[in-house]
């Protein structure tokens, strides 16, 4: 590639998790002698920065930029996460966990859930989750890193993290600046675009400084300063499927023990999260302003705290959806500027990570070839759509009729692709998914069964195995899983030995 065609100046607008994840990754893969990276953020502009729960895909990102796990956890007040507990979603009093691991094991090419369903037909009432290591370990409050030996039952799960998002951004800032990223403090007051093609040329700061670039990455959050306010890209709202449009967040003191899982408890007009960190617990209430006032929502979260609050509640406003194009001209939106899905399945950081990795795969030259832009937009749009459908499933698959909100969710039309998935599972226990999807068969089955969508029939091959052999196999699995989980150390003790944070986390 001729030198004059290379991207020589990357400008990232906005810090926070999205901005510093982008900066840390680009500074890892781009040679600073050939391409400068400058990140602009203003101390006057607040970032969302609430406590964050993640999913196991974060390991790929942290490994790519060379993070040491124990050090990163110490610096971000992090704990381990084995899955997400859902409380009161189908009926009041119901509970299940969507775990980061497999259930039992497949036999004769048939998914384990078909054998579990077969035993259920015969009267075995053993809960599905008892055949999953991370579920049993989570409910026992146990944790250890998975075994590498595939013969061990302790190799059948993964894990993620809970951490302070502000501290994570600060940690990544140190990484990025060590690798040559330049941070400029300032508030952007104007954006210059070329008249002939509408490409962004530069941004102007309040102090009069002008910063030019070849590629601009919009990490300005909900403000969408470049992708929307400058380029008028447009936004596709999904509020008719995901009516929650606000959240009230408040940290609290920790309980006596640290659970190694996230909790999402359904409320009359939304749901409440609980994210345990080493020195505090993150709490929040996601709700629909069409069905509940801010005061009511705040009262609910405060009344349901396990311990005393350590800061004042703050309200966030949003609209579920995605930008119509996340790459427009020479601007790419990453993070909240590109789209928003509520954190019900802890996918916020995954979607940032996916955009960054796709950008690296399709990193442009100064000609900004149309196929690169089209592929980026199509793939990111598809990722958002698939995560969206997985989240909608939790709302749609409910029996609750105790509030107007749940009546709306239970009866609302849903995307055709999701409707097909639900019907396929309800009729035959089959899961329809693409191998390129984030959520695969194990994930879908966990939520289908957790929300009590029971198939009318099972794979006929599951009935070919003698019933006593199936029963013996499941009994041995359950015993092995329980024994293995009970052998693990307490989550609190593992953290103390592996990654204890020295000082209490800063209040958000």
Question: Which tokens belong to 298?
Answer: 């705040």
Helix (H, G, I), strand (E, B) or coil at 438: coil
The tens digit of pLDDT for each residue in 453-481 reads: 999 999 999 999 999 999 999 999 999 99
Q: Quote the CA–CA distance of 196 and 47 in Å, as a whole number.
A: 34
Residue reference for tokens 């509030």: 403
Please tell me the CATH superfamily of domain 3-79+163-236+320-384, with its number.
Answer: FAD/NAD(P)-binding domain (3.50.50.60)
Tens-place pLDDT, residues 206-232: 999 999 999 999 999 999 999 999 999
Q: Which string of DSSP letters, residue by residue, matches 382-434? A: HHHHHHHHHHHHHHHS----SSHHHHHHHHS---HHHHHHHHHHHHHS-----
Residue in the block written with tokens 């009230």: 248
Q: Per residue in 322-356, pLDDT tens?
A: 999 999 999 999 999 999 999 999 999 999 999 99
pLDDT score for 507? 39
Which pLDDT score, from 0 to 100, does residue 508 have? 36
Digit-coded pLDDT (tens) for 62-105: 999 999 999 999 999 999 999 999 999 999 999 999 999 999 98
Mapping DSSP to helix (H, G, I), strand (E, B) and coil, where does residue 456 land? Answer: coil
Q: What share of the chain is helix, strand, coil (3-state, %, to 5)?
A: 40, 20, 40
Where b means 16+ CB within 10 Å and e means fewer, 135-168 reads bbbbbebbbbebeeeeeebbebbbbbbbbbbbbb
Q: What is the pLDDT of residue 5?
A: 86
- Which distant-in-sequence residues (6+ apart) come within 8 Å of 489 by Cβ? 142, 143, 144, 497
Cβ atoms < 10 Å from Cβ of 70: 13
pLDDT of residue 322: 99
What is the structure's pLDDT at 4?
77
46 by Cβ neighbours in 10 Å (0-12 / 13-18 / 19+) ranks as: exposed
* Phi, psi dihedral angles at 59 (to 5 degrees): -60, -40
How far is it, in rounded angstroms, from Cα 333 to Cα 226?
Answer: 8
Name the residue ranges covered by the structural domains of the chain.
Answer: 3-79+163-236+320-384, 107-157+415-492
Per-residue pLDDT tens digits for 155-187: 999 999 999 999 999 999 999 999 999 999 999
Answer yes or no: is pLDDT of 204 > 50: yes
CA distance 332 to 352: 12
Sign of CA dihedral 440, 446, 447, 453: positive
Q: Residue 470: its pLDDT value, please?
A: 95
Mean pLDDT of the chain: 96
Res 506: pLDDT: 42
For residue 220, give every residue at least 6 positions away whose Cβ sits within 8 Å of its Cβ, in sequence order, or none: 13, 14, 226, 337
Q: How far apart are CA 312 and CA 250, in angstroms?
A: 6
Kindly report the backbone phi and psi dihedral angles of residue 172, in degrees, each rounded to the nearest multiple of 5, phi listed first. -70, -30
12 contacts: CB under 8 Å, gap ≥ 6: 19, 22, 23, 37, 38, 39, 40, 216, 217, 219
Bridge partners of 499? Answer: none
- pLDDT one-digit tens code per residue, 25-59: 999 999 988 999 999 999 887 666 578 999 999 99
Q: Which residues lie closer than 8 Å to 483 by C-beta, 6 or more apart? A: none
Which pLDDT score is estimated for 24? 98
Strand 200-205 versus strand 188-193 pairing type:
antiparallel
Query: What are 265-302's pLDDT values in tens digits?
Result: 999 999 999 999 999 999 999 999 999 999 999 999 99
pLDDT digits (tens, 9 = 90+) for 374-418: 999 999 999 999 999 999 999 999 999 999 999 999 999 999 999
At 503, the pLDDT band (50, 70, 90 cuts) reads low
Q: Tell me the average pLDDT across 21-25.
A: 98
Do the bridges between strand 9-13 and strand 327-328 make them parallel or antiparallel, or are there none, so unpaired?
unpaired
pLDDT band at 505 (very low <50, low <70, confident <90, very high): very low
Angle between helix 16-29 and helix 348-361 axes, rounded to 10 deg: 30
> Computed over its alpha carbons, how large is the radius of gyration of the chain?
24
């Amino acid at each position: 590639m001729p030198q004059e065609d290379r991207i020589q100046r990357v400008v990232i607008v906005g810090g926070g998790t999205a901005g510093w994840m982008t900066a840390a990754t680009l500074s890892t893969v781009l040679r600073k002698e050939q391409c400068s990276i400058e990140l602009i953020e203003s101390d006057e502009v607040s970032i969302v920065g609430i406590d964050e729960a993640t999913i196991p895909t974060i390991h790929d990102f942290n490994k790519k930029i060379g993070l040491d796990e124990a050090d990163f956890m110490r610096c971000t007040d992090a704990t381990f996460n084995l899955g997400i507990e859902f409380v009161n979603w189908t009926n009041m009093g119901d509970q299940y966990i969507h775990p980061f691991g497999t259930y039992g094991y497949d036999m004769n090419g048939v998914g384990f859930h078909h054998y579990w369903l077969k035993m259920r037909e015969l009267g075995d009432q053993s809960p599905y989750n008892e055949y999953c290591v991370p579920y049993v370990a989570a409910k026992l409050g146990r944790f250890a890193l998975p075994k590498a030996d595939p013969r061990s039952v302790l190799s059948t799960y993964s894990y993620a993290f809970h951490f302070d998002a502000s501290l994570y951004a600060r940690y990544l800032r140190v990484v990025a600046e060590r690798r040559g990223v330049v941070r400029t403090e300032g508030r952007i007051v104007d954006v210059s675009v070329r008249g002939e093609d509408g490409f962004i040329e530069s941004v102007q700061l309040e102090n009069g400084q002008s910063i030019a670039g070849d590629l601009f990455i919009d990490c300005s959050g909900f403000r969408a300063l470049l992708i929307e306010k400058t380029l008028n890209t447009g936004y596709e709202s999904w509020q008719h499927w995901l009516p929650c449009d606000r959240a009230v967040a408040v940290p609290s003191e920790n309980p006596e023990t640290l659970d190694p899982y996230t909790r999402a408890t359904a409320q009359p007009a939304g749901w409440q999260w609980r994210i345990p960190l080493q020195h505090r617990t993150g709490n929040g209430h996601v709700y629909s302003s069409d069905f509940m006032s801010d005061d009511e929502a705040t009262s609910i979260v405060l009344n349901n705290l396990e311990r005393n609050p350590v800061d004042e509640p703050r309200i966030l406003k949003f609209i579920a959806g995605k930008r119509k194009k996340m790459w427009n001209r020479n601007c790419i939106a990453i993070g909240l500027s590109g789209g928003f899905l509520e954190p019900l399945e802890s996918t916020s950081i995954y979607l940032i990570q996916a955009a960054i990795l796709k950008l690296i795969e399709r990193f442009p030259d100064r000609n900004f070839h149309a196929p690169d832009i089209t592929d980026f937009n199509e793939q990111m749009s598809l990722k958002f759509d698939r995560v969206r459908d997985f989240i909608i499933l939790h709302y749609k698959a409910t029996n609750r009729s105790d509030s107007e909100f749940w009546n709306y969710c239970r009866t609302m039309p849903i995307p055709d692709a999701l409707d097909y998935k639900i019907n396929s599972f309800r009729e035959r226990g089959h899961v329809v998914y693409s191998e390129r999807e984030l959520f695969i068969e194990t994930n879908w089955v966990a939520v289908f069964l957790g929300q009590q969508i029971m198939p009318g029939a099972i794979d006929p091959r599951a009935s070919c195995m003698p019933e006593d052999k199936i029963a013996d196999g499941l009994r041995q699995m359950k015993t092995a899983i329980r024994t293995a989980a009970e052998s693990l150390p307490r989550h609190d003790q593992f953290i103390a030995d592996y990654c204890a944070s020295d000082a209490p986390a800063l209040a958000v």
